[in-house]
Amino acid sequence: MPASTDTTPRILLTGGAGFIGSHFVRTLLTGGFPPLAGAHVTVLDKLTYAGNPANLDPVRDRTGFAFVEGDITDAALVDSVMAEHDAVVHFAAESHVDRSIEGSADFVITNVVGTHTLLDAALRHGVGPFVHVSTDEVYGSIPEGSWPETDPLAPNSPYSASKASSDLIALSYHRTHGLDVRVTRCSNNYGPYQFPEKVIPLFITNLLDGQKVPLYGDGLNVRDWLHVDDHCQGLALVLEKGRAGEIYNIGGGTEITNRELTERLLKACGASWDSVEYVEDRKGHDRRYSVDWTKLRDEVGYSPRHDFDTGLAETVAWYRDNRTWWEGLKQERTP
């Protein structure tokens, strides 16, 4: 990674007040990515319903941390912030599929226009690497086997279509302009600080409150679960050792049906199947996701370290111990 004149890398991190971005910031600033030790980090975040300043409290006073409240579609702001940085890790997005089914305008504006605004500014100021954080959902749904990075894109939800669009624009900035863009596509993340609208924190917090959990359709949709810490380790490796213009899948290695996931969560929370309510399936619900992440393993040495059952138990414990973090969010912000 190129460095600023005083050799301290300055990383612009968009969406750093959200679930995954804040984990990346907390890990980086507490020494969890040794090759990035000492890096300066600026979080640029609009603080939408999903952005929570409290997620950054543990590192707010660390040397090298700065926070800018703002929108990635604000070209003037993005331009001035970009000029002060050497690299970008771009997390900011509208990220919830169900919300994109209710209304997708914000998804197109933030995920497509916002990404384009950042790329344009990075190109003007010669900033790179630009790590664009994307999702396995851009590949669509796969009945068997796993997607390599070369598979065609076939997104099905407005969310995944907006992410696929942003992936293509990002890659075009490499192919056309030579910008050092690196795209990552990860599977479903879980861990602490995840907004309680996504399935794992929604189910955990409902069960901790003695409420029912809504299971979509027949519950047989398959997801590959990736601990947020493994995802962030993979991103740090791509930032450090990845190649310009390349796509890297990041998987967790735990493929289970939503029924199996529910079963584990019920057990961890001391509840029974009486707490499960089958609800009408999500529109256009992808049946199965599965990424082949051998490229990331072979090129940069990635390997997920978190065992799923242990990670899930720790996640349940975190929500049990941090009610003040999620209780208000559930009451005020979920639709």
Query: Which of 18/311 has CB closer to ligand NAD?
Result: 18
The one catalytic residue in 45, 94, 120, 137 is 137
Residue 95 found at the interface with ligand NAD (CB under 6 A): yes
Q: Residues with Cβ < 8 Å from 41, sequence gap 6 or more?
A: 10, 11, 13, 16, 25, 28, 29, 64, 65, 66
Q: Does 82 contact ligand NAD by CB under 6 A?
A: no
Is residue 139 close enough to count as binding ligand NAD by CB under 6 A?
Answer: no
Distance CA 160, CA 107 (A): 9
Q: Is 136 an annotated catalytic residue? A: yes
Decide: 269 and 207 in contact? Cβ < 8 Å. Answer: yes
The answer to the question of residue 289 lying near ligand NAD (CB under 6 A) is: no
17 contributes a contact to ligand NAD by CB under 6 A: yes
Subset of residues 205 to 264 that bind ligand NAD, contact rule: CB under 6 A: none
Angle between helices 115-125 and 75-82 in degrees, nearest 10: 40
Per CB under 6 A, contacts with ligand NAD among 299-328 are none
Residue 62 and residue 167: Cα distance in Å, rounded? 32
Q: What is the 3-state secondary structure (H, E, C) of 24-38?
A: HHHHHHCCCCHHHCC
Q: How far is the CB of 36 from ligand NAD (least distance, A)?
A: 18
Which residue shows structure tokens 């490499």? 174
Q: Say if CB 224 and CB 291 are below 8 A apart.
A: yes
Which tokens sit at 211? 């409420």
Can you tell me which of 12, 26, 40, 48 binds ligand NAD, judged by CB under 6 A? 48
Instruction: Respond yes or no: is residue 299 known to be catalytic.
Output: no
Q: How far is the CB of 210 from ligand NAD (least distance, A)?
A: 26
Of the residues 71, 86, 149, 159, only one is catalytic, namely 159
Under the binding rule (CB under 6 A), the answer on residue 81 touching ligand NAD is: no
Site for ligand NAD contains 93 (CB under 6 A):
yes
In angstroms, give the least distance from the CB of 7 to ligand NAD.
29
Does residue 173 have an active-site annotation? Answer: no
Residue with token string 């749904």: 141
Between the alpha carbon of residue 76 and those of residues 71, 80, 120, the distances in Å are 10, 6, 11
Cβ-contact 201, 195 below 8 angstroms: yes
Out of 45, 86, 149, 180, the only residue in the binding site for ligand NAD (CB under 6 A) is: 45
What's 200's DSSP letter? Answer: H
Amino acid of residue 168: L
Token digits for 235?
């991103």
Contacts (CB under 6 A) with ligand NAD, residues 188-207 = 188-189, 195
Per CB under 6 A, which region of 119-127, 184-192, 236-244, 291-299 contacts ligand NAD? 184-192
Sign of CA dihedral 110, 111, 116, 118: positive
Number of residues that bind ligand NAD (CB under 6 A): 30
Residue 15 makes contact with ligand NAD by CB under 6 A: yes
Is residue 114 near ligand NAD by the rule CB under 6 A?
A: yes
CA distance 180 to 187: 23
Kindly tell me which of 17 and 276 has the beta carbon lying closer to ligand NAD. Answer: 17
User: What are the residues binding ligand NAD (CB under 6 A)?
Assistant: 14-15, 17-21, 45-48, 50-51, 71-73, 91-95, 110, 114, 133, 135, 163, 186, 188-189, 195
Q: Which residues participate in catalysis according to the annotation?
A: 136-137, 159
